[in-house]
Chains A and B, each alone.
Chain A
């Protein structure tokens, strides 16, 4: 299964931007890049996803390298509520249909300091 590599932990100061890196050198052409975050004792929360182009939404931005072998999740202004485990995941297509499955890695634990 496609795998991603993320730093185990990162720290940020409140109200500063955060750049969370992810390497996925074995990505294939049909794999979407997904980001989720998880607070303790809660289910993962969808953050953003993309295929080739950079993506923006109300939560974050996703910058995808031109060769698609790495990506960066950007939180523009970190708040204390952004402290969580962030997972970078490749959505691997299965079968002949346009469906896929998420294979989670260990993620990056983000600490936000006031």
Chain B
């Protein structure tokens, strides 16, 4: 069966520090991968998606970047965090063809 792992679960980082969140998927090949962010009391905002290794599409201009160094690995990064980067970050995967998405358990990031 397919599983998605996302870590860490919680993170407190000072303003200006770097960020690296990792997401890995097991049990499938060539998944579509997604990073979402949910600010407090808000809906989910799509940040990045990837259809293959090294292929990244950005949805919203921001202080973040994403990379996909391996087929089932998706990384969200920042060189210098801002207070506005605080939120609940979720990784998700799907297969092509309209299938359902599976979300990870999320990382709650607080920038102080």
Q: State the A residues within 8 Å of B (CB).
A: 32, 34, 36, 41-46, 49, 51, 87, 91, 94-95, 97-107
Q: Is B44 touching A104 in the complex (CB atoms < 8 A)?
A: yes
Which residues of chain B have C-beta atoms less than 8 A from A87's C-beta?
Answer: 43-44
Q: Within the assembled complex, what's the spacing in Å between the Cα atoms of A49 and B46?
A: 19
Closest CB-CB distance, A107 to chain B, in whole Å?
7
Which residues of chain A have C-beta atoms less than 8 A from B46's C-beta?
Answer: 101-104
Q: Is A106 touching B43 in the complex (CB atoms < 8 A)?
A: yes
Q: Is B98 touching A43 in the complex (CB atoms < 8 A)?
A: no
Which residues of chain A have C-beta atoms less than 8 A from B43's C-beta?
Answer: 87, 104-107
Q: Is B101 touching A104 in the complex (CB atoms < 8 A)?
A: no
Q: Taking the complex as formed, is B104 at the interface, i.e. its CB lies under 8 A from any CB of chain A?
A: yes
Q: Taking the complex as formed, is B25 at the interface, i.e. its CB lies under 8 A from any CB of chain A?
A: no
Which residues of chain B have C-beta atoms less than 8 A from A46's C-beta?
Answer: 100-102
**What string of 1s and 0s marks CB contacts (under 8 Å) between B74-112 and chain A?**
000000000000001010101011111111111010000
Known A41-B88, A43-B106; further 14 A-B contacts with Cβ < 8 A: A41-B106, A43-B92, A45-B103, A87-B43, A95-B51, A97-B51, A97-B96, A98-B97, A99-B51, A101-B34, A102-B34, A102-B46, A104-B36, A104-B45
Closest CB-CB distance, A111 to chain B, in whole Å?
17
25 A-B contacts, Cβ less than 8 Å apart? A32-B98, A34-B100, A36-B103, A41-B106, A42-B105, A43-B90, A43-B103, A44-B92, A46-B101, A46-B102, A94-B57, A95-B51, A97-B51, A97-B96, A98-B97, A99-B96, A100-B94, A100-B98, A101-B59, A102-B46, A104-B36, A104-B46, A105-B43, A106-B43, A107-B43
Q: Is A99 touching B103 in the complex (CB atoms < 8 A)?
A: no
Which residues of chain B have C-beta atoms less than 8 A from A97's C-beta?
Answer: 51, 96
Which residues of chain B have C-beta atoms less than 8 A from A101's C-beta?
Answer: 34, 46, 49, 59
Q: Is A43 touching B105 in the complex (CB atoms < 8 A)?
A: yes
Which residues of chain A have C-beta atoms less than 8 A from B96's C-beta?
Answer: 97-99
9 shortest interchain CB distances as A-B pairs? A43-B103, A46-B100, A104-B44, A32-B98, A99-B96, A104-B43, A98-B96, A43-B90, A43-B106
